[in-house]
Amino acid sequence: MGTQISPTPGTTPGLLSRRTVLRASLLGAGAMTAAPLLAACGSDDGGTAAPRSAPSLVKPSGTVTLTLWSWAWPEEPAAGQLKAAFEAAVPEVKLEVKKFPFPDYETALRTAVPNGTSGDVLHLQTGSMIRQYAQFLSPVEDLARQAYGDDWETQFLDGSVKEIRDSVPQGQPLVAMPQQYSIGGVLWVNRAVLAKAGGQVPTSHEEFVRISRDLRGQGLVGATWGAKDNWPNTDYLVQFASQFKPGVVAAAEAGQASFTDDAIVAGLEYLKRTLADELWNKAPFATPAFPDAYDLFFNGKAAAASIGTWGTAALFATPNRLTDWAACLWPRLPDAPEDNWLGSSVSGIPQPSSASAVRPWRTVNVAAAMRADLSPDKQWAAWKFVEWSCGEEGQKAGSATYTPARKGIRPDGLNEEWQRIYDWHNELGKGAERREFDYIETRKAIESAIAAVCVNNADPKAELQRVDAAAARARK
Amino acid sequence: MTAPVRLETRADEQPVVDTPTTGGTRPAPRRRRRPSPGWLYVAPALAVFAVFVAYPIVATIRSSFYDYDGISPVRQWVGLENYREMLGGLDPYFWKAVTNTLLWTVVTVPAQLLIGLGLAVLLDGALRGRVVYRTVFFMPAVLSSAVIAFAWGWIFNPDEGVATRVLRAAGGSGQAWLADPGTAIWAAFGVSAWRYSGLFMLFYLAAIQMIPRDLYESARIDGASWWQRARRITVPQVRPMTVLLTLFGVIGAFREFEVVYILTRGGPAHATDLLSIQIFDQAFDLSRPGYAAAIATALLALTAVCAVVLLRLISWANRSVE
């Protein structure tokens, strides 16, 4: 913005008077303020849309440095081993990994992805996270078909690719590949601790209460819950509501049911009841999930924790875990209808809890995606990393620290019992509930409702009405 | 006859000598006035202010009229819709956050002032080891918020926290301080008072040491007790500092974020939600920077009103001491 300052009465041409300086300063400040605002005004039309066609890949003539941003990359020494394995498989690419704590990762993505300053390859969660960034990511379906064959989708655990597809509006291309897939919400139990309360896994709510009471008398804990972090809370609600009506939370988020549905109300009331019945560690709503709540289980102070295949790496921390730990499902909730979803298809349950046990949840907890604005050689390198990570070799290499999304791959080092338990988890995926939400607003509203009901004794129906309103706003 | 010399003076100019003229001669040229270079001196500061204060404020206010997610370049003009949602009861947690922020201010600021003044009065005397005490009390003010929050998180830990153990040792059953909405905000108040009282103590010490000692001597000769001297001399004499610290305290209270966020994340059940936490949640968790900007604008207005009132109080306090 060019501004000519002309001499005005009362000033001396050629010299800067107070008024001149003041005016110039104000004009300068105004310009500094107005210019970006005007520029911002110009961006209201939606800006430049990211390319939606498959990327063009060009193999580099030399070495390309590729940056991966993740919150889910393993710790050393596994991190170095995984990096070395990839660089050995694709010597044209040098991998650099930037790992964030998850909350920081969400914040970093928010500014870096739209500005093109994020990593070349991104680890993302399904649901709202992929939905937010899909416009900045390359379509990968054609590349997957070329790399893995026409049946590529069936090579991954049931529902994993669909979960990514469902993360974006219908008709939009697939923008990420399933790298890690978890079955969660399965109770992992410590038999050594359970032995102090009779030695059996809980087969009913009443039995669970008795075990917790017995253990509390010995300074131990029945089950752990880090409710301060909120995400475990929605996991439990999704599971408990599904006891009364499978899929009801997902249906409510989609607007096909109401959050005030009796099934969700019953699930929420049961969650509150678990607090009154003291199934948990003290004051879950003041306890973070990590490290506090889960450490109670990992350190042998709790009988049970809601884990699942995502916790597989913890099995190897000490040798006795493979023999002390087992797994079962949360026993059927009081007053819940018969729901023999396990049927006869699930085998190898080492610690049966009860018929009609609570369904676990499933999630593609890590999907690999690549930015759409990369140069062709970077696109090539990025796809090579995604292809390797989601291919058999990469999945096997990473399986000791994360849960492979490919069928038939399980980590080395499991004993026979845990091999069966691991396979059993993945088999449970067929009846598991969807964990992630399409809209963060819905998740946040549910978190608030759960806290209000469990901590403030608020009316569940009234709180869930607010969730309905929030979900409706989000869908708009 | 010679006319008298007349001096023209403007507040911002050098005096100009208007020389009398005689018939037929040209008037003597006026001396060239030199402009004050003051504005040049402040121009860098003005530029910094414009870029780092004025622009963000204007940009924030402008953002509050838009609905966007902070990621997509699409921004939709919604006018006053964000304000309607905020003030019209559509956001169930906004007014809770306003209440908590005001409560935070009216509880923590007086607590910090009282404790700070009390410590300063105690440590102004010939107390043995007073330098050590001053250092100890001041130390929390220089610790990072994260360290403070994690330390107090452990102190309040419902199983093994120091506070819980002390209560148990005293015969109680322990208290889940941060899990109970009734106690969580008071626990956070306590942390805030603990953190800043030492800083306030330091300011008060400086103010107390400026009080003429003969006032105390006279009072002592007149038979005034320690309490009377503190009440009748110290407190009135440090009034300007009290008002200044109140201003700092109020602004600090409105900006409080890190410790509470790490300690409770605004919970349980929004019991410790502050406006600053709401702004963060809306902008970064819920991807609603436009709505967050509306809350930030409300907080700015609240802060500005308090600042104006307190600045007037500072003038009054200064005059009253003079």
pLDDT tens, residue by residue, A213-224: 999 999 999 999
The average pLDDT across A145-166 equals: 93
User: Exposure of A93 by Cβ count < 10 A (0-12 exposed, 13-18 middle, 19+ buried)?
Assistant: buried
pLDDT at residue A244, rounded to an integer: 97
Instruction: Give B67's contacts in chain A (Cβ within 8 Å).
Output: none
Q: Which residue has the higher pLDDT, A257 or B311?
A: A257
pLDDT at residue B157, rounded to an integer: 85
Q: Which of the four CATH numbers 3.30.70.1400, 3.40.50.620, 3.40.50.720, 3.40.190.10 does domain A11-182+364-430 have?
A: 3.40.190.10
CB contact under 8 A, B33 and A440: no
- For residue A325, the cross-strand partners are A190
B-interface mutation test, from A228, A275, A278, A281, most B Cβ less than 10 A away: A228
pLDDT at residue A17, rounded to an integer: 47
Residue range B124-161, pLDDT digits in tens:
877 788 889 999 999 999 999 999 999 999 898 887 78
* Facing B33 at nearest CB: one of A12, A16, A287: A12
CB contact under 8 A, A37 and B69: no
pLDDT at residue A76, rounded to an integer: 87
Q: Which of residues 230-249 of B touch A (CB under 8 A)?
A: none
Q: Looking at the complex, report in whole angstroms how far the Cα of residue A37 sits from the nearest Cα belonging to chain B.
A: 7
pLDDT at residue B282, rounded to an integer: 93
Q: Give residue A351's pLDDT band: very low, low, confident or very high (50, 70, 90).
A: low
Q: Check: CB of residue B179 under 8 Å from CB of residue B153.
A: no
The average pLDDT across B79-99 equals: 92
Instruction: Give A16's contacts in chain B (Cβ within 8 Å).
Output: 35, 39-40
Q: Do domains A11-182+364-430 and A183-361 have the same CATH topology?
A: yes
Instruction: Give B76's contacts in chain A (Cβ within 8 Å).
Output: 44
Closest CA to A386 of A151, A138, A157: A138
Q: Give residue B203's pLDDT band: very low, low, confident or very high (50, 70, 90).
A: very high
Domain assignments of chain A as residue spans, ordered by start: 11-182+364-430, 183-361
b/e per residue A273-306 (b: at least 16 CB within 10 A): bbbebebbbbbbbbbbbeebbbbbbbeebbbbbb
Looking at this protein, which amino acid is placed at residue B171?
G
Number of helices (H) and strands (E), helices first, in chain B?
15, 4
pLDDT at residue A317, rounded to an integer: 85
Q: Give residue B177's pLDDT band: very low, low, confident or very high (50, 70, 90).
A: confident
Q: Looking at the complex, report in whole angstroms how far the Cα of residue B64 sits from the nearest Cα belonging to chain A.
A: 13
**CATH architecture entry for A183-361:** 3-Layer(aba) Sandwich (3.40)
DSSP assignment, residue B268?
A: S
Of A7-16, A388-397, B182-191, the poorest mean pLDDT is in A7-16
Whether B35 contacts chain A with CB within 8 A: yes
CB contact under 8 A, A448 and B181: no
Q: CB contacts < 8 Å between A and B, how many?
A: 145
Residue range B257-310, pLDDT digits in tens:
999 999 998 989 999 999 999 999 999 888 899 999 999 999 999 999 998 998
Is the pLDDT assigned to residue A35 strictly greater than 70? Answer: no
Q: Which of residues 15-34 of B touch A (CB under 8 A)?
A: 32-34
Ordered DSSP codes for A132-147: HHGGGB---HHHHHHH
Q: Looking at the complex, report in whole angstroms how far the Cα of residue A394 sits from the nearest Cα belonging to chain B.
A: 31
Residue range B41-75, pLDDT digits in tens:
999 999 999 999 999 999 999 999 999 988 888 89
- For residue B66, the cross-strand partners are B77
pLDDT at residue A5, rounded to an integer: 34
Q: Is the peptide bond between A7 and the residue preceding it cis, with omega within 30 degrees of 0?
A: no
* Facing A133 at nearest CB: one of B47, B71, B270: B71
Instruction: Give A444's contacts in chain B (Cβ within 8 Å).
Output: 281, 285-286
pLDDT at residue A29, rounded to an integer: 39
pLDDT at residue B286, rounded to an integer: 87
Distance CA A201, CA B8 (A): 99
Quick check: helix, strand or coil at residue B238? Answer: coil
Q: What is the pTM (predicted TM-score) of this model?
A: 0.81
Whether B216 contacts chain A with CB within 8 A: no
Q: Looking at the complex, report in whole angstroms how far the Cα of residue A187 sits from the nearest Cα belonging to chain B.
A: 23
The average pLDDT across A362-379 equals: 94
Q: Give residue B250's pLDDT band: very low, low, confident or very high (50, 70, 90).
A: very high
Quote ipTM for the complex.
Answer: 0.76
Q: What residue in B sits closest to A443 (Cα-Cα)?
A: B286
User: Exposure of B160 by Cβ count < 10 A (0-12 exposed, 13-18 middle, 19+ buried)?
Assistant: exposed
* Facing B176 at nearest CB: one of A21, A286, A458: A286
Whether B286 contacts chain A with CB within 8 A: yes
pLDDT at residue A344, rounded to an integer: 55
Per-chain mean pLDDT for chain B: 87
Q: Looking at the complex, report in whole angstroms how far the Cα of residue A307 sits from the nearest Cα belonging to chain B.
A: 22
Whether B92 contacts chain A with CB within 8 A: yes
pLDDT at residue A339, rounded to an integer: 83
The total of other beta-carbon atoms located within 10 Å of residue A260's CB is 16
pLDDT at residue B320, rounded to an integer: 75
pLDDT at residue A56, rounded to an integer: 76
Percent helix / strand / coil, chain A, rounded to 5: 50, 15, 35
Q: Give residue A179's pLDDT band: very low, low, confident or very high (50, 70, 90).
A: very high
Place of tokens 């790496």: A313
Whether B46 contacts chain A with CB within 8 A: yes
Q: What residue in A sits closest to B70 (Cα-Cα)?
A: A110
Instruction: Give A466's contacts in chain B (Cβ within 8 Å).
Output: 92
